[in-house]
Structure 1
Amino acid sequence: MMELLSSLTDGNVGFFFLLLLRFGGIFAFFPFFDSTLIPVSVRGAFTFFMTILFYPTIPHATFNFTLEEYLLAGAMELMLGFVASLGLQIVFGAIAFAGDSISFSMGLTMASAYDPISGSQKPIVGQVIAILAIVLALSVNFHHFLLMFVSHTFSSIPLGGFVLNQDMMNYLIKAFGDMFLIGFAMAFPILALVLLSDIIFGMIMKTHPQFNLLAIGFPVKIVIALVVIILVIPAIMMRFKNELNAVFLALNKLF
């Protein structure tokens, strides 16, 4: 007991709270961990547990922060989690954009249901693709990579020493611009075949006015899109996995 009390110095307590804020920023903003399915109390307890687990591994330096500097350092620790999470959020946003585009092209935009992950109404096809993406991310140890990234930042960014630099801003701007391109590339095979089927149905209606597009065309188009989704979903998930790995490599270089 006396050893525990003797370790509660200003420096140890100060660095402990900075590490707590670093993990708090990670678990508050990173994909999957920011889901509304995970209660705030669970995330808070997990953050506290990981802080205790990782605290002995951090390099201990002299605690020489003033009150103003310490408050700024705490805010920058939260900023680290927010900035690092943006790259991964963009990848998940790209596959969500692909799912919504596929749903719109199939005419299933109104076939929506409550999405417990985002807490909003989303098309069913987009929900299925998003859930597959999360399952794939967990199957390739996404959560382990996250903890490895936090461990990596201890040697490159001391507690309270995070600074948002120009390289990070350039990467995030480029990644945000590529989000729509990546999402469109994932959805392109389905979009192309649905567009081709629309052209064919239009030509049939022009030559055979009695052709009932509502009764025949839409169900056939949905069936075609579902078949193509089944065929190309492995390629979509592989592209998602590659983009996820690219983001982690970029995070290790930038942080």
Structure 2
Amino acid sequence: MSRTGSQELGRGDPYAVLEVSSQASQAEIKAAYRRLVKQHHPDAGGDSERILELNAAWEVLGDAERRRKFERDRLHGCEEARRRGARNARASRAARAASGQGAAADDAIVQWLQRVYAPIDRQLSQVINPFPDQLRALSADPYDDTLMEAFCTYIETSQQKLERVKTLYQSMPVPESVRGFGLSLYHCLSQVEDAITELERYTMGYVDNYLHDGREMLREAKQRRHRLQQERRRLEIT
């Protein structure tokens, strides 16, 4: 569930076009744009269509206000898609039930929620929820070896839990009628993994940007996890 994997899912996304994370700073986006333009410029044997694609992505992300508008629009679109997926799922279950096919399909959803989603949700809580206390303890003195060792232990334990999470996610296919829910879960997993990576980078060089980015990613992942829990209840499957 690397960042590259997330970008594979988001073709057409300006972040994917510029090969950066959605958490990238404006400086990182600018550097990526310059690097790719130089790499793909027709004078260097590149593709003019690729340059047009890069320029279009830069127009969206290079300006801070346009980037914020894009983020708002994307969030709104994701929420609409999630709600539409839930409505479609309920309509699909009703149609299958009417045709005598609903029982088996609903059973597959129940099995997936119990065997995949529920244990993943528990593992994520064990990564996301302890973070504020871990950060508060480290903030007392980031250069204290004992405090830093405890923080690194939290990161290592979190990485182990995320490995189990990835195995769980791949253990069963997502039922067709809850595919949107499964995709949202995947994005949550990716965001938590990226956050832990940023925190690990902080421990290796005390660069505050890594700590800030990791903290923000976990905050957003916590909100995404909460929305998933609400959506799980709306599925109305026991």
TM score, norm. by length of structure 2: 0.26
Higher RCO (C-alpha 8 Å, min separation 6) = 1
For the pair shown, the structure with the greater C-alpha radius of gyration is: 1
The structure where helix makes up a greater share of residues is: 2
TM score, norm. by length of structure 1: 0.25
